[in-house]
Each structure stands twice: as structure tokens, then as C-alpha cells.
Amino acid sequence: MAAMTCLDKAERALIALHYFHGYFQKDIGKMLHLSQGAVTTRLYRAQQKLKKELETGGKTHER
């Protein structure tokens, strides 16, 4: 959870809805008034940021 601080509020919401609450991308899109493609893209980018944060042990967020 601490690694999620590297994400902005919208990215944290996407990650939480998808991984913690189990919503499908299509459903998240309906909730947030986004296309499924937009959700997929934004979720992927958030995942990449989170992955980088976890791999560097938080050093990317400290800058």
C-alpha cells in the first residue's frame, strides 16, 4: 500500500477498484464515465508506475 503513494488520486482509484474491489475494466469505465479503452490504458500506466516504484524500493518517489 505504501508504494501506491507514487500514484496520483485517479491512478490509485483505478488500481483499488480493479485489484482490491474486483471490478472489471468495463464496469470501472461505466462508474467513471470513461471508455473501456481509456480505463485499460490508464490502468496499464498506473501498473507500470507502481511496478517501477516497487522495483526501486521507493527511490523514484523520493525525487
Domain range 2-56, CATH class: mainly alpha
Q: Taking the domains of the chain in order of start, what are their residue ranges?
A: 2-56
pLDDT at residue number 63: 45
What are the CA-CA distances from residue 34 to residues 9, 41, 63 (Å)? 16, 11, 31
Question: Can you tell me whether residue 42 is helix, strand or coil?
Answer: helix
Q: What's the CA gap between 30 and 52, in Å, rounded?
A: 29
Q: For the whole model, what pTM was predicted?
A: 0.81
Kindly indicate the confidence band of residue 61, based on its pLDDT and cuts at 50, 70 and 90: low
- pLDDT (tens digit, 9 = 90+) per residue, 5-51? 899 999 999 999 999 999 999 999 999 999 999 999 999 999 999 99
Q: What's the CA gap between 43 and 11, in Å, rounded?
A: 7
Q: Does residue 60 register a pLDDT over 70?
A: no
